[in-house]
């Protein structure tokens, strides 16, 4: 089973039990005495001092991911608009200087 399929299965089970799925969930390595090293889902990247946060794989709820993408696109659009205004102001300033020099 792929990780994505496992995550969807976990989401369905959580929602079926009437629980709320957290916005972020982590797949963390866990050492099991019977199975050796395996991976488990957790809402904390390092639930104990034995866990290393950098080893956790972070998953974000799709709705949260889409909302973050929308924020980034809106921010990029705002920056583009601001750059156009700055370019226009710089052009106007350049034209003003040129006019001052010619009439000076």
The domain segmentation of the chain, as residue ranges, is 1-60, 61-104
Distance between CA atoms of 9 and 12, rounded to whole angstroms? 5
Question: What is the SS3 string spanning 49-83?
Answer: CCCCHHHCEEEECHHHHHHHHHHHHHHHHHHHHHH
Place of tokens 């009439």: 103
Confidence (pTM) = 0.50
**What is the per-residue pLDDT across 60-101, written as a single tens digit (0 to 9) for each?**
888 888 888 899 999 999 999 999 999 888 888 877 777 777
Handedness of CA 88, 93, 97, 100 (dihedral sign): positive
Cα–Cα distances in Å, from 19 out to 60, 68, 86?
17, 23, 50
At residue 81, the pLDDT reads 92
pLDDT for 82 equals: 92
């Amino acid at each position: 089973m792929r990780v994505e399929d496992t995550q969807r299965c976990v989401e369905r089970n959580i929602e079926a039990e009437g629980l709320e799925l957290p916005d972020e969930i982590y797949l963390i390595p866990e050492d099991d005495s019977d199975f050796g090293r395996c991976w488990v889902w957790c809402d904390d990247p390092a639930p104990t001092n034995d866990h290393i946060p950098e080893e956790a794989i972070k998953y974000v709820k799709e709705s949260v991911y889409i909302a973050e993408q929308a924020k980034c696109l809106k921010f990029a659009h705002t920056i583009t608009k601001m750059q156009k205004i700055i370019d226009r102001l710089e052009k106007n300033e350049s034209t003003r200087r040129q006019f001052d020099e010619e009439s000076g």
